[in-house]
Amino acid sequence: MSLLRALTKLYRSKLPEPIDVPNLLTYANEEAYRWYGLMVSPVLALNGGRLRWAGSHVDTLHGERLCDSLLIVRYPSHRHFVRMVLTPYYMLVANPIRERAVARFEASFTHAEALFPELTHDRVLLAFGHDDDAPEIEASLIEAGGRRAYATRVVSKILGPPRRRADAHPLHFSRLSLWAFDDQTAARDALTPELTSQLEAAGPNTSLALFRRKTRAEMLPKITLR
């Protein structure tokens, strides 16, 4: 199936609204991705998209390391996303930069479980990726001082199997929740022996990783004036 046909099929599908796209990014060139972020901002805004949170990977507490950065982007619907990636500006200007910048990334269409408050003030988050209900793990995170700041579920792949390095791989897990802590020490201390046992019992497709919010300066390209 051609890319255009795949996008047309995706556009015609019915998905819940709004749609959130978690991006788990591994960089080939982080500075190039900063330029992509700057260049994509106008077309993202024109299509109703907005960045809800962006953070850098600090540590993987359980499971395999999946990325260098975590981004949560919200669109009014998946159709707004499709319209964005089909604009000539995106295809000819922004996307070539993205392709140079990304070594690998995971992303899926997801729908948030509730209208959580804005994430922009949360500086330290534990990202818990899993497939099944995990009330015991969530109870342990709450007991450790965590606040459930966000939770979302996968509702669709973005496209079919990835063909190129920079194409989206589906998220490893079907559910993602973000847990806010006061600081990185408190977040690390949440990994008690009891929580470790609960994570191991939850199966191999489980991840717990620590992220810190990126500053605005970290998200902008570095411009040197001569």
Q: Is residue 224 part of a domain?
A: no
Q: How many CB atoms lie within 10 A of CB 208?
A: 24
38-60 average pLDDT score: 97
Q: Which helix (H) or strand (E) holds 23?
A: strand 19-27
How many domains does the chain contain in total?
1
The b/e string for 38-50 (b: 16+ C-beta within 10 A; e otherwise) is: ebbeebbeebbbe
**CATH assignment at residue 82:** 3.30.70.100
Tokens of 183: 């600081």
The b/e string for 17-37 (b: 16+ C-beta within 10 A; e otherwise) is: ebbbbbbbbbbeeeebbbbbb
* Phi-psi domain of 25 (left: phi exceeds 0; alpha: psi -120 through 50; beta: other): beta
Q: Is residue 162 part of a domain?
A: yes
Q: Is residue 200 part of a domain?
A: yes
pLDDT at 115 over 90: no
Q: Is residue 68 part of a domain?
A: yes
Structural domain for 201, as ranges: 3-215
Tokens of 172: 């490893």
Grade residue 7 by pLDDT with cuts at 50, 70 and 90: confident
Q: Is residue 222 part of a domain?
A: no
Q: Rounded to an integer, what distance in angstroms lies between the CA atom of residue 220 and that of residue 36?
A: 9
Task: Provide the pLDDT for residue 225.
Answer: 65
On the 0-12 / 13-18 / 19+ scale of CB atoms within 10 A, 161 is exposed
Q: Is residue 20 part of a domain?
A: yes
Q: Is residue 113 part of a domain?
A: yes
CB-based contact 124:57 (threshold 8 Å):
no
Grade residue 226 by pLDDT with cuts at 50, 70 and 90: low
Could you report the per-residue pLDDT of 124-137, keeping only the tens digit for each?
999 999 999 999 99
Bridge partners of residue 51, in order along the sequence: 73
Stated pTM of the model: 0.94
Q: Rounded to an integer, what distance in angstroms lies between the CA atom of residue 86 and that of residue 101?
A: 20
157-170 average pLDDT score: 88
Q: Is residue 226 part of a domain?
A: no
Could you report the per-residue pLDDT of 179-213, keeping only the tens digit for each?
999 999 999 999 999 999 999 999 899 999 999 99
Pairing of strands 168-169, 102-112: parallel
